């Protein structure tokens, strides 16, 4: 069975969704860069090992990533799942786990990389917004896309109401994509991902209005 490490920074609702979905893998550890992350408490209650690598204790991104790599090494993860992990990882970190780091981003990539995606989607007047699960590459929010879910942007939406609609879909597609990886139902070809078996044709889904 594949071992996964889940990296968080805060509330951990995606972590909860992944744990509740019981994917075909062992959740070897939950690591947070913030000692007060709510998700740590949830992991402890589930008897999942936890670790804190507090970014405030390191003077550079490189030093933080080195400590993070050392912590992860103990658990020998096959997959690293970024679930609301709010640190940008260095190329060295990503190259230590090639094609083995995944992230969920709250937009339909390649639109709205970076932060404040919901407000930026509203300001741009798009009718569709959503979330993307992708493999992580050194270029921020640009790796091969595994799954996306689209939601409507409704008249009068605030960033908060739109974020809530997107989050519901995040909780659905992230566990699903992790399951596909654990069951070897997806493979990377260049910048695209091929889905096989039960995953085939399920990489895109729409919110049911
Ligand atoms: C999610 O919206 C995720 O897409 C973004 O940060 C948020 C984390 O939420 N990167 P949670 O900690 O999983 O509740």
Looking at the fold, whether 125 and 54 belong to one and the same domain comes out as no
What pTM was computed for the model?
Answer: 0.96
**Distance between CA atoms of residues 40 and 45, nearest Å:** 9
Residue where a domain terminates, one of 53, 69, 98: 98
Looking at the fold, whether 26 and 46 belong to one and the same domain comes out as yes
Cβ–ligand 1 distance for 175 under 6 Å, the answer: no
More confident of the two residues 199 and 181: 181
Q: Cis ω on the peptide bond leading into residue 110 (within 30° of 0)?
A: yes
Q: Which residue of the set 105, 118, 129, 171 is catalytic? A: 105
Looking at the fold, whether 74 and 112 belong to one and the same domain comes out as no
> What domain range is 30 assigned to?
1-98
Residue where a domain terminates, one of 98, 114, 144: 98
How many domains does the chain divide into? 2
State the burial class of residue 166 (Cβ atoms within 10 Å of its Cβ: 0-12, 13-18, 19+). buried
129 as an active site residue: the answer is: no
Looking at the fold, whether 91 and 117 belong to one and the same domain comes out as no
CA of 15 to the centre of ligand 1 (A): 9
Looking at the fold, whether 2 and 55 belong to one and the same domain comes out as yes
Looking at the fold, whether 53 and 154 belong to one and the same domain comes out as no
**pLDDT tens digits, one per residue of 170-188:** 999 999 999 999 999 999 9
Residue where a domain terminates, one of 98, 117, 145: 98
CATH of the domain at 128: 3.40.50.170
Looking at the fold, whether 125 and 200 belong to one and the same domain comes out as yes
Cβ–ligand 1 distance for 106 under 6 Å, the answer: yes
On the question of pLDDT at 129 being above 80, the answer is: yes
**pLDDT tens digits, one per residue of 76-110:** 999 999 999 999 999 999 999 999 999 999 999 99
**pLDDT tens digits, one per residue of 29-83:** 999 999 999 999 999 999 999 999 999 999 999 999 999 999 999 999 999 999 9
Q: Do 186 and 195 contact (CB within 8 A), yes or no?
A: yes
Confidence band for 203, pLDDT divided at 50, 70 and 90? confident
Per the prediction, the chain carries an average pLDDT of: 95
Looking at the fold, whether 140 and 207 belong to one and the same domain comes out as yes
Ligand 1 site-directed mutation target among 20, 21, 84, most atoms within 8 Å of CB: 84
Q: Do 33 and 108 contact (CB within 8 A), yes or no?
A: no
**pLDDT tens digits, one per residue of 115-127:** 999 999 999 999 9
Cβ–ligand 1 distance for 167 under 6 Å, the answer: yes
Token output for 157 = 């939406």
CA 58 to chain centre: 24
Q: What percent of the chain has pLDDT over 70?
A: 99
């Amino acid at each position: 069975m594949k071992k996964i490490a889940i990296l968080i920074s805060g509330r951990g609702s995606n972590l909860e969704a992944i744990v509740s979905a019981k994917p075909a893998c062992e959740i070897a550890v939950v690591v947070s860069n913030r000692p007060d992350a709510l998700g740590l408490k949830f992991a402890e209650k589930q008897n999942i090992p936890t670790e804190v690598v507090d970014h405030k204790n390191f003077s550079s991104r490189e030093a933080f990533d080195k400590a993070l790599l050392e912590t992860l090494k103990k658990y020998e993860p096959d997959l690293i799942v970024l679930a609301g992990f709010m640190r940008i990882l260095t190329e060295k970190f990503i190259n230590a786990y090639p094609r083995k780091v995944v992230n969920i981003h709250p937009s339909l990539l390649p639109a709205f990389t970076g932060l404040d995606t919901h407000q930026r989607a509203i300001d741009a007047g798009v009718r569709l917004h959503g979330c993307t699960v992708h493999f992580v590459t050194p270029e921020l929010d640009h790796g091969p896309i595994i799954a996306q879910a689209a939601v409507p942007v409704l008249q009068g939406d605030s960033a908060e109401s739109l974020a809530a609609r997107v989050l519901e879909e995040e909780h659905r597609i992230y566990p699903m994509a992790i399951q596909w990886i654990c069951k070897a139902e997806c493979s990377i070809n260049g910048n695209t991902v091929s889905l096989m078996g039960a995953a085939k044709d399920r990489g895109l889904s729409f919110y049911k209005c």
